[in-house]
Amino acid sequence: MTSVAGGPVAVELGPDEAAARVAASPPWLAARRRAAWDAYTALPMPSSQRDEDWRRTDISGLHLERFTPLRDVDAGLLAAMRLQRDQAAPGAAFALDAPAADLVITDADGLLAQGVIVTTLQDAASRHTELVQRALAAHTVDESKFSALWNAMWRGGVFVYVPSGVDAVAPVWIAHAASGDGAAVFPATVIVLDDAASLTVIDAYASPRGSQPLFSDAIAALTAGRDSRLDYIALQQWGEGAWHVATHRASLGANAKLRFFGATFGARLQKAYWEASLDGTGAEADIAGVCFGDGEQHLDHQSLQAHRAPETRSNLLLKVAVRDQARSVYSGLIEVAPAAVHADGYVQNRNLLLSHGAKADSVPRLEIRANDVKCGHGATAGHIDDEQRFYFMTRGVPREDADSLIVRGFMDDVIARVPHVGVANLLGTLLDSEIAGEPQSGVTEVEG
Amino acid sequence: MSGPARLVTQGLRASVEGKEILKGIDIEVAQGEIHALMGPNGSGKSTLAFTVMGHPKYEVTGGAMSFDDQDLLGLRADDRAKLGLFLCFQYPTAIPGVTTVNFLRAALRAQGKEMPAREFMKRLSDEMAALRIDESFRSRYINDGFSGGEKKRSEILQLAMLRPRLAILDETDSGLDVDALRTVAEGVMRIAGPDIGVLVITHYPRILEYLRPHVVHVMHDGRVVMSGGPDLARRIEREGYEPILGTAVPEPARV
């Protein structure tokens, strides 16, 4: 096994590691990290009994003291993640979220020539202080145990800034990679689009196949300025031993348009927040996602569509298929502030249960404090329809093939909402493999 | 193969959810023949269609059933289809996310009737044109949002593409206006010939003016009570079922 980007050794997620992160940070960030560490030590672990967010997702089996910060990225894993990029979006810049501060960004020349900044978050924290501060303002260090820990511990990270009026010539493919037994990673993605800028980002999280324990505590902070357009795709393929807690949060200025797509395949347990804050008049967020769970996976998505300005529009569709003993938990809230007159929001979650042991909970909610709005929600869960299966079979298609085609069909409309055609094809392929009984938890390493 | 393949049922009895619907059906349809199965609502015609095709909800409780000398009992619906049986559904189900093209491709592949993509598209185009189905239906999800008439045309399109040895048309004429009825009936007649047997289930004699069945059966209360030539259909049109059945036809429970 070969490695890239080695870093200083730390043995645990303790005060020494926190102090090392403080020491490696510019003063403003050092202060933030200190406050974050204090908050982390003061806050209790979330509990299914105490915390509404965690009511259906039990993390009492997560023992953070057993994890140590990731030091190296395995070259075979990195090659596999690059190969995905090559196949789905060959023109995309590739940015590795590495544990050390070394710059691991390639194929970004076209973007750099446009004045786009693509660098590590660590580097941006010193050189583009104000932009980073503004982007992180939406993630207060004490908002949760995991947010506090992330703020104290993240290293490397990826930062992208698109200047005003610039239509980025290529997507940015961000690779958050982790391997090894008991590694802890703090994936960091910070994207800032200035007014009327546009960009496509693929945010990929992956580890090798297998059941090695892994802990991922991730934040993606997305800021889209007035009249900007951000297409953002999160692809989660952690191995089956991973615990993954993530917050993907977008703040949208006036008339900004966000197309957000989340694809969840991996991890033994996931708690992912998908949030869009529609802060400016006329902002729009289209959020869609696909999730396939098998084995013992527990996959939790919690979404927020926060309408904070007039004439804002949001739409969310999450489609989930679960089989074996897998469990999906979904809760989603559309929140309409008093100022958000004429808000238009919709949230729906559709679940397909492929085994009798599989389970899906769904709780979409509306909280409306403005007049003259249009909001709705929907949720369904069910097994494969017997009549659809019989219809296929009367045409000669065997039951198993019929079921595969029905499941793929169930996902078809949501895959059509992936805002990048190459990535849509990749996700279709991953889904086909899942449906064929090959779980896509983790990726197969490639000779580097 | 010795002679044309035949669908044969002998004393066929079947139940749905514990209720006996078919009470001993004897029927024999050979390749090259067109049979009509008529009878009032609730007489068990559609149950016969689903039972022959192997719907898991229809339990065979007695008798025998074969096609081309192969026992159908114990065969799953997909195996029956591979033998050459086809059912034109009265109410075909929608399958969101599966386009007509993908549905047909999967069916042809499953039956070992795959053809090169260009030939497939050409044949599909021709059949759609003949059935007056808009090109856009290729990429529409099958039966999803189709009108009643569009569903019937789509079923006949599948019949034309799959070319079975025996087709059961379950009330393919119901809910069609005169023009659509003619289009659909002509579609069936283009396929009819020595290689296909057709069993047309209908209430109404009108479709039979186009299909010209060789044999007409009348079914009532789970049994075939009369069989005859084309005249029988005309007699039903003139007189209704009651004089033939020799009894008042009760308003049946829907099955």
Domain that holds residue B86: 6-91+164-245
Position B199 in a domain: yes
What residues in B contact A409, CB-CB < 8 Å? 95-98, 141
- How many Å lie between the alpha carbon of A305 and the closest alpha carbon of chain B? 27
State the smallest CA–CA distance between residue B232 and chain A in angstroms: 31
Nearest chain A residue (CA) to B95: A388
pLDDT band at A9, cuts 50/70/90?
Answer: very low
B53 contact residues in A (CB cutoff 8 A)? 394
Taking 90 as the threshold, does the pLDDT of residue B146 lie above it? yes
Confidence of residue B237 (pLDDT cuts 50, 70, 90): confident
Give yes or no for residue B47 having a pLDDT over 50: yes
CB contact B96 to A (< 8 Å): yes
* Statement: residue A119 has pLDDT above 90: yes
CATH at B33: 3.40.50.300
How far is A369 from chain B, CA to nearest CA, in Å? 36
Q: How confident is the model at residue B60 (pLDDT cuts 50, 70, 90)?
A: very high
Contacts of B93 in chain A (CB under 8 A): 385, 387-388, 391
Interface residue B98 vs chain A (CB under 8 A): yes
- Number of domains chain B is built from: 1
Confidence band, pLDDT 50/70/90 cuts, at residue A126: very high
Q: For residue B79, what pLDDT is reported?
A: 98
Inter-chain touch B110–A397, beta carbons under 8 Å: yes
Contact across the interface for B78 and A398, Cβ inside 8 Å: yes
Q: Is the pLDDT of residue B151 over 70?
A: yes
pLDDT by residue (tens digit) across A41-64? 999 999 999 999 999 999 999 999
**Which band of pLDDT confidence, cut at 50, 70 and 90, is reported for residue A104?**
confident
Residue B152 counted as domain residue: no
Give pLDDT tens digits for A354-365: 999 999 999 999
Cross-chain residue pair B55–A390, CB shorter than 8 Å: yes
Q: Do B87 and A386 touch (CB under 8 A)?
A: no
Q: Over 60: is that where the pLDDT of B255 sits? A: no
Asked, for residue B35, whether it belongs to a domain, the answer is yes
Bigger pLDDT: B214 vs B251: B214
Is B195 part of any domain? Answer: yes
Residue A445 falls inside a structural domain: no
| B97–A397 C-beta distance less than 8 A | no
Residues in chain A with CB shorter than 8 Å from the CB of B102 are: 405
Nearest CA in chain B to A405: B98
A391/B95 CB distance under 8 A: yes
Q: Is A416 on the interface with B (CB under 8 A)?
A: no
Q: How far apart are the first and last CA of chain A?
A: 10
The answer to whether residue B234 scores a pLDDT higher than 50 is yes
Alpha carbon distance B234, A427 (integer Å): 59
A400 touches chain B (CB under 8 A): no
Statement: residue A67 has pLDDT above 80 = yes
Does residue A9 form part of some domain?
yes
Nearest chain B CA: its distance from A397 CA (Å)? 5
Is B223's pLDDT higher than 70?
yes
Taking the CA of residue B115 and the nearest CA in chain A, the distance in Å comes to 16
Express each pLDDT in A364-392 by its tens digit: 999 999 999 999 999 999 999 999 999 99
Q: Which residues of B touch A391 (CB under 8 A)?
A: 89, 92-93, 95
Residue B240 pLDDT class (50, 70, 90 cuts)? confident
Q: What is the pLDDT of residues A149-183, one digit of tens each?
A: 999 999 999 999 999 999 999 999 999 999 989 99
Portion of chain B with pLDDT greater than 70, in percent: 96
Residues above pLDDT 90, as percent of chain A? 94
Given a cut of 60, is residue B231 above it in pLDDT? yes
B82, B97, B98: residue with CB nearest A396: B82
Three-state secondary structure along chain B? CCCCCEEEEEEEEEEECCEEEEEEEEEEEECCCEEEEECCCCCCHHHHHHHHHCCCCEEEEEEEEEECCEECCCCCHHHHHHHCEEEECCCCCCCCCCEHHHHHHHHHHHCCCCCCHHHHHHHHHHHHHHCCCCHHHHHCECCCCCCHHHHHHHHHHHHHHHCCCEEEEECCCCCCCHHHHHHHHHHHHHHCECCEEEEEECCCCHHHHHHCCCEEEEEECCEEEEEECCHHHHHHHHHCCHHHHCCCCCCCCCC
Q: How far is A351 from chain B (nearest CA, A)?
A: 14
pLDDT at residue B254, as a whole number = 44
The reply to whether A391 touches chain B by the CB within 8 Å rule is: yes
The overall average pLDDT reported for chain A is 95
Position A77 in a domain: yes
pLDDT (mean) for A192-217: 97
A438/chain B closest Cα distance in angstroms = 21
Task: Please check whether residue A288 lies inside any domain of the structure.
Answer: yes
User: What is d(CA A239, CA A252) in angstroms, rounded to the nearest whole number?
Assistant: 32
Average confidence score pLDDT of chain B: 93
pLDDT of residue B206: 85
In this complex, which of B82, B92, B98 lies closest to A409 when CB atoms are compared?
B98
Among B81, B98, B141, beta carbon nearest to A396: B81
pLDDT in the model for residue B246: 77
- Rounded Cα distance, A317 and A375, in Å: 14
C-alpha distance across the termini of chain B, in Å? 37
Please count the residue pairs, one from chain A and one from chain B, whose beta carbons lie less than 8 angstroms apart. 85
- Is residue A444 one of the residues assigned to a domain? no
- Which tens digits make up the pLDDT trace of B61-101? 999 999 999 999 999 999 999 999 999 999 999 999 999 99
* pLDDT attached to residue B86: 98
CB within 8 Å: A394 and B106 = no
B77 touches chain A (CB under 8 A): yes
Q: Does residue A370 form part of some domain?
A: yes
Over range A129-150, report the average pLDDT: 96
pLDDT band at A15 (very low <50, low <70, confident <90, very high): very high
Of A195, A307, A205, A194, residue with least CA distance to A262: A205
Q: Considering the domain boundaries, does residue B251 fall inside one? A: no
Q: Does residue A417 lie in a domain region?
A: yes
Residue B114 touches chain A, beta carbons under 8 Å: no
User: What pLDDT sits at residue B253?
Assistant: 45
Q: Is the pLDDT of residue A405 over 60?
A: yes
Domain containing A408: what range? 3-435
| Residue A100: band (very low, low, confident or very high) from pLDDT cuts 50, 70, 90 | low
State the smallest CA–CA distance between residue A400 and chain B in angstroms. 11
Q: What is the pLDDT of residues B1-28, one digit of tens each?
A: 568 999 999 999 999 999 999 999 999 9
B142: in domain: no
Predicted pLDDT at A72: 84
pLDDT digits (tens, 9 = 90+) for A274-329: 999 999 999 999 999 999 999 999 999 999 999 999 999 999 999 999 999 999 99
Residue A2: pLDDT band (50, 70, 90) is: very low
Establish if A413 touches chain B: CB-CB under 8 angstroms.
Answer: yes
Task: Give pLDDT tens digits for A220-277.
Answer: 999 999 999 999 999 999 999 999 999 999 999 999 999 999 999 999 999 999 999 9
pLDDT bucket at A417, cuts 50 / 70 / 90: very high
Extract the tokens encoding B73: 């009992």
Percent above pLDDT 70 for chain A: 96
Chain B, nearest residue to A410 by Cα: B97
Instruction: Name the residue in chain A with its Cα closest to that of B103.
Output: A392
Q: Which of A391, A398, A405 sits opposite B93 (nearest CB)?
A: A391
Structural domains in chain A (count): 1
Say if B255 falls within a structural domain.
no
Chain B nearest-CA distance from A292, in A, is 17
With an 8 Å Cβ cutoff, are A406 and B77 in contact? no
* Domain-embedded: residue A448: no
